[in-house]
Amino acid sequence: MTFLIRTIDITASGREIRRERLSEGLGLTVGRAAENDIHLPDLAVEQRHIGITLSKVGTLDIAALGTLGFGLDGRVVTQAAIDPATGGEIALGSARLAVIREGDAIAITISQIAADEGRGDVLRGFALASVLPSKRAMSWTFAGAILLVLLMLPVASHLLRTPARPDPTGRTPGVVLMDSAWSSGELSLKHQSLTENCESCHVAAFESVQDETCLSCHKDIGDHAPMGRLAKGSPALSPGDAIQWKIGQTLGKEGPLGCVACHSEHEGPVRAAAGNAAFCSDCHKDMNLRLTDTAIANAHDFGKGHPEFRPLYYASFGAAKPVRAAPGTKPVERSGLKFPHDVHMNKAGGAARMAVSLKQYGKPLECADCHVLAPDRISFREVKMEDACEGCHSLVSGRITGGGFSKLRHGDLKQLAADLAKVSAAPRPSLAPQRQRPGQLGSTAPSYRADFGRPVRAYIGISNALSAGGVCTECHLPTTGPSGQADLVPVNLPDRFLASGYFNHEAHKKQECSDCHAAGTSKAASDLLMPDLKSCRQCHLGAGATKTAKIVPSDCAMCHAYHLPAGQWQGLGQHKGPAPHYRPAPLAAATAAPARVAKVRN
């Protein structure tokens, strides 16, 4: 076997020197000693390091002759075989012996490599860091992007904007950029128009939403009670809440009685729920312990703990103001009217018969013929004599020449006197075409016949009309005026009898009026026909009651509102006109909101 041993050396000037020699034999030895076939002057190489022999199958067997192994294709081994056709590379110290067949010979090319050139750097390639940006760069990039877009952008645009007034219509777009990313949840349904305009509520930086801001739109909202009374009447906060409010108030929050303490926003697209029974009973269950001077009785559950109703009524004739009934008493109402409900409601009585004969009724009188529900569905329209009574209690005084009838004006005694004088001054045409009997006025029909007094008594007619037996005193009570003249007791009826809660009549239209109001048996107008607590409790029990076909679990909010105890909140802008009757007059709406807040606080 011929081995072609080729040595490649590089001179100091970089020139390559190749030397070739042939060696015949079955094998070779490689080592530092001079007697080896291949002599490598390298201290890392053993004296006799490896032996290369040609095996019978044609491969080259390489074996370490000493204790040190050798490198073959990068691996350190002590024994290996090389297929001369494919070849292999033996590493000994800094020498590399490339073994390969060239023609019939086996060429062994010896070259020197520079030891461990930049290996440390090369090994870094194994680290993932070599193909990724540095952690520091990535961290700064992400953190910077977050801080820029989600913090600096909103803050800068908030600080640089021109503050605008809150616009509940939602037509004014917000100018603060990216602050929608700050929203912790969707706004309630009624505030959806403000979604894009955060700064309409969040006015100043690091300042909680102020009551003043709420009141700039909710101008008509009523106050449950003055702030001082509210604070005194409220039960003690839990220790956690107390600490939170203390810190919050130190930092400018409105406190537990501010708007947002109850009206928590960003709670999703829902309608702000009315406070539950617990919300009310927190204070009202034992309020007399804290508000010792309060006139309001304790209440916590309609079925178990609710005071008797105390309807408003006029306790004396011509009183300036109504009073509330004392609990458990049977009030005598001094409305100044005579009106026996039983007479009018008796289906077989005279009033019923007359109503049947009249075109406008055609059947016996019903409650709704006089009492018409007001649009608020709570109270009733004022009963007007002209609409409700005059169909029967006619004030027709004569026939006018052009056709039709003249009638006495109702409501003002001076006008009545003038009309009566006119009746007496002119000959009166007959009221009906029928033949008249002497002394008989009006028609012979069985209808109601007014006694205006005889024409000859025209000038004392007014006195007669006002005195007992006269036309006026059929419904009114006679009295004498300051100068002794005949007069009538003024009519005094409250618009609402229950002023601290509301009763939705619409919701009870399946019931008969007389189920609650004992009008059918009331013989006098002095009966106050308001139902009592017991009759309500036949159906309504507290919020905790079990709902059945008959029992309606009823929480406080069914009859009481927080801000307007006497009426349901109708929504922003819909609540027009004066506050419900006989409540303390609301603070002037024109007063600036801050002044109102200050006033309520005191």
- The residues of the shown chain that bind other proteins, judged by CB under 8 A, are 71, 73-76, 83, 85-89, 91, 96, 98, 100, 109, 119, 122-123, 125-132, 135, 138-140, 142-144, 146-147, 150-151, 154-155, 158, 179-186, 198, 202, 205-209, 240-241, 243-244, 253, 264, 267, 273
Q: Of 247 and 533, which has the nearer Cβ to other proteins?
A: 247
Q: Of 155 and 493, which has the nearer Cβ to other proteins?
A: 155
Q: How far is residue 470's CA from residue 465's CA, in Å, rounded to a whole number?
A: 4
Question: Kindly report the CA angle at 421 between 418 and 425, in degrees rounded to 5?
Answer: 140
Tokens of 538: 């036949």
**C-alpha dihedral, 482 to 410 to 344 to 368, nearest 10°:** -120
Q: Of 147 and 289, which has the nearer Cβ to other proteins?
A: 147
Q: How far is residue 305's CA from residue 597's CA, in Å, rounded to a whole number?
A: 33
Q: Of 94 and 479, which has the nearer Cβ to other proteins?
A: 94
Helix and strand tally (H, E) in the chain?
17, 20
Q: Of 70 and 302, which has the nearer Cβ to other proteins?
A: 70
DSSP result, 470-535: SSGGGTB-EEE-TTS-EEEPPP---S-S--SS---SGGGTTS-HHHHS-GGG--STTB-----HHH
Q: Of 128 and 589, which has the nearer Cβ to other proteins?
A: 128
Smallest gap from residue 264 Cβ to other proteins (A) = 6
Q: Of 22 and 205, which has the nearer Cβ to other proteins?
A: 205
**DSSP helix/strand/coil, 322:** coil
Contacts of 128 (CB under 8 A, 6+ apart): none
Q: How far is residue 232's CA from residue 155's CA, in Å, rounded to a whole number?
A: 39
Q: How far is residue 23's CA from residue 26's CA, in Å, rounded to a whole number?
A: 10
Q: How far is residue 564's CA from residue 578's CA, in Å, rounded to a whole number?
A: 12
Smallest gap from residue 175 Cβ to other proteins (A) = 14
Smallest gap from residue 242 Cβ to other proteins (A) = 9
The region, left, alpha or beta by phi > 0 then psi within -120 to 50, assigned to residue 61 is beta
Any bridge partners for residue 102, and if so which?
105
Element (H, E) at 443: none
Residue 508, number of CB atoms within 10 A of its CB: 13
Q: Of 83 and 474, which has the nearer Cβ to other proteins?
A: 83
Smallest gap from residue 110 Cβ to other proteins (A) = 12
End-to-end CA distance of the chain: 119
Q: How far is residue 63's CA from residue 80's CA, in Å, rounded to a whole number?
A: 7
Smallest gap from residue 77 Cβ to other proteins (A) = 10
Q: Of 252 and 350, which has the nearer Cβ to other proteins?
A: 252
| Amino acid letter for position 117 | E
Smallest gap from residue 170 Cβ to other proteins (A) = 18
Smallest gap from residue 279 Cβ to other proteins (A) = 8
Smallest gap from residue 302 Cβ to other proteins (A) = 22
Q: Of 448 and 569, which has the nearer Cβ to other proteins?
A: 569
Q: How far is residue 331's CA from residue 306's CA, in Å, rounded to a whole number?
A: 20
**C-alpha dihedral, 167 to 171 to 176 to 181, nearest 10°:** 100
Smallest gap from residue 563 Cβ to other proteins (A) = 18
Smallest gap from residue 271 Cβ to other proteins (A) = 12
